[in-house]
Structure 1
Amino acid sequence: MTGAGSATVAYTVEDSYGDGPATEPTWYQPGIDVTVGDLTVEQALERSRQPDDPTPSGSRPGNWEGAMSVSFSLTDDNFHDLVFADGGTALPNSPMRAPSSTWYYAIEMPDGTTESRTPTGAIVQDASISYEQGSDISVELTILYGDEPSDITEPGTIEQPSDEDVYTWHGATFEVGGLNQPLMQSTTLSLSGLARFRRGQGRHPYDAVVDAIEPSFSTDATFTERDQLALAVDDSREGLVGKVPATFALENGQGDTIEYTLEGCQPTSYSWSDLVAPDADLGEPIDYHVADVSATTATA
């Protein structure tokens, strides 16, 4: 069996879909505290049968597709190039090809040998950036990929972040509708439907394009004022749900900053929690639909 410290996880952005690494690629470890969900390949086999035999004679392959998920503590904005199709800073406002990447996964065996897998044509279908009081900022990427060749060269150097680069909860600030939210307990910025494959006459995808993107923002803060309640309840009596901007700003111990600007936030659900609880504050869980998201970064 393998043990702690025996794995390698890295990615590089592809110049064109499915091309694999560039001539002199820059490989990145996505963050620290990395976990990888099942690295799964689906062959979509269909059974073949003869009319005079109740058992199948074999199976024919269908569309080839790989899937994985990657979670990590946020240390930098490099992953934005996989998520924001418009230059790594914004969601697209017109049809375009989706960004793709090659990943390198390796495990060192007890006998000293290394086994690796190299997904190519990898696209991020869903992404989430989450804050929780008392914890590091975390990122989760749900990824599909189109091929897994065995001739990818092992990365020579991998840019690896340090624990000092981690963005933590005490470097986060939130503003919704122009009001600061100082007692935020948890939030998640979700970007769903970021990319999809296009297919033709081959088993592997032809390329990838941006999909019908659905940004959303979930917050759970201690109730301090009526503004969010008014947006969800009072204002909606006119038949429309109001739109407000929001910001989700982060700073790490190095002084580097990442700020997500959210446009057109509309509450789709609003709750009061712990209304009668002797040992808890009144909470205000809210789920927002979001029209657009962009990201800006600055290095100290």
Structure 2
Amino acid sequence: MTGAGSATVAYAVEDTYGTLPGTPTWIQPGIDITVSDLSVDQALERSRHPDDPTPAGSREGNWEGAHGISWTLTDANFHDLVFADSGTDLPNSPMRAPSATWYLATELPDGTTEARTPTGAVVQDASINYQQGDDVTVELTILYGDEPDDVTAPADGDIQQPSEADAYSWHGASFSVDGLAQPLMQSATLSLSGLARFRRGQDRHPYDAVVDAIEPSFSTDAVFTERDQLALAVDDVDTNAYEEVGKVPGEFALENGQGDTITYTLSDLQPTSYEWSDLVAPDADLSEPIDYHVSDVSATEVTA
């Protein structure tokens, strides 16, 4: 960004990989947006002659772009980029990964606009983050297959832009594990990794993208109030000397000031790591950071 208020960030969901609908719907993903990087890798390979220590040149490899983006959560529109099954569920069978075209532009001091338009953009990793005292945030790691210069720029009035009043904050969040509420949650992150991968053929650019081997996880850090999570982590269930880590349901629910709600239903939580933190600390409460493996996640949005 060259100055405050000089950037435009929007995306439109593609009909098929790399192809926008005739009249695309451009969406600003949220507020307080940060684009951490926007990079292209040409994967050049050096060429050499046996009688010359300097390279003769370089040949192109697979083309791939990437960018990271985060924002304050204002709505569930981004679910269309993350949940391949109708924007509400993770897929339970092979399918094409959802893709989008992004419009990322900056206005220069001389009044001109320079834009970049990643197309065939798929979300590889996503996280929804809660921190006590802060707004809820979303982070996406995005890979994309092309960056053409013929994408028609959306007019300002054509971009759906959320309101500051739509923001989801920490005081609208609730958590439950195995039906038990967690009222003193300090931080929590729902992570979805391995959401998409490219398929390639006889072209430098990807042919398309499909869902990958998805790994959902849930990390929490709450003030210790009861031993239910401790029991889940350390109490073995023995069947003929076979030890099992129990599976329990969970829920991560959010509500904004407008009364809109987003609920993430988590299936088969299993603690892969558990600890006590600040057992002896004069100015801190005993807390229990936990990392859970999750088998499935579904999302529900209800607008007021």
Counterpart secondary structure, 1:16: coil
C-alpha distance in structure 2 between counterparts of 1:177 and 1:278, whole Å: 31
Counterpart secondary structure, 1:230: helix
Is there any run of 5+ residues in structure 1 with no aligned partner, and where? none
* Matched residue, 2:5: 5
* Matched residue, 1:291: 295
Counterpart secondary structure, 2:236: helix
C-alpha distance in structure 1 between counterparts of 2:47 and 2:283, whole Å: 63
Residue 153 (str. 1) matches residue 157 (str. 2): no
C-alpha distance in structure 2 between counterparts of 1:258 and 1:85, whole Å: 17
Is there any run of 5+ residues in structure 2 with no aligned partner, and where? none
1:236, distance to aligned residue in structure 2 (A): 5.1
Counterpart secondary structure, 1:12: strand
1:2, distance to aligned residue in structure 2 (A): 1.7
C-alpha distance in structure 1 between counterparts of 2:50 and 2:27, whole Å: 54
Q: Which of 269, 277, 281 is residue 277 of structure 1 equivalent to?
A: 281
C-alpha distance in structure 2 between counterparts of 1:261 and 1:214, whole Å: 15
Counterpart secondary structure, 1:171: strand
C-alpha distance in structure 2 between counterparts of 1:235 and 1:34, whole Å: 44
Counterpart secondary structure, 1:51: coil
Per-residue deviation, residues 247-287 of structure 1 (Å, max 9, x unmatched): 00000010000000000000000000000011111101000
* Matched residue, 2:249: 245
Aligned AA (1:268): T
Counterpart secondary structure, 2:267: strand
Aligned AA (2:299): A
Matches within 5 A, 1:171-250: 171-235=172-236, 239-250=243-254
C-alpha distance in structure 2 between counterparts of 1:69 and 1:152, whole Å: 21
Aligned AA (1:226): R
In the alignment of these two chains, the number of paired residues is 299
C-alpha distance in structure 1 between counterparts of 2:3 and 2:124, whole Å: 30
Aligned AA (1:172): A
Q: CA RMSD in A?
A: 0.9
* Matched residue, 2:269: 265
Per-residue deviation, residues 87-119 of structure 1 (Å, max 9, x unmatched): 000000000000000000000000000000000
Counterpart secondary structure, 1:169: strand
* Matched residue, 1:144: 143
Counterpart secondary structure, 2:141: strand
* Matched residue, 2:18: 18
C-alpha distance in structure 2 between counterparts of 1:2 and 1:182, whole Å: 42
Aligned AA (2:169): T
The more displaced of 254-263 and 156-165 is 156-165
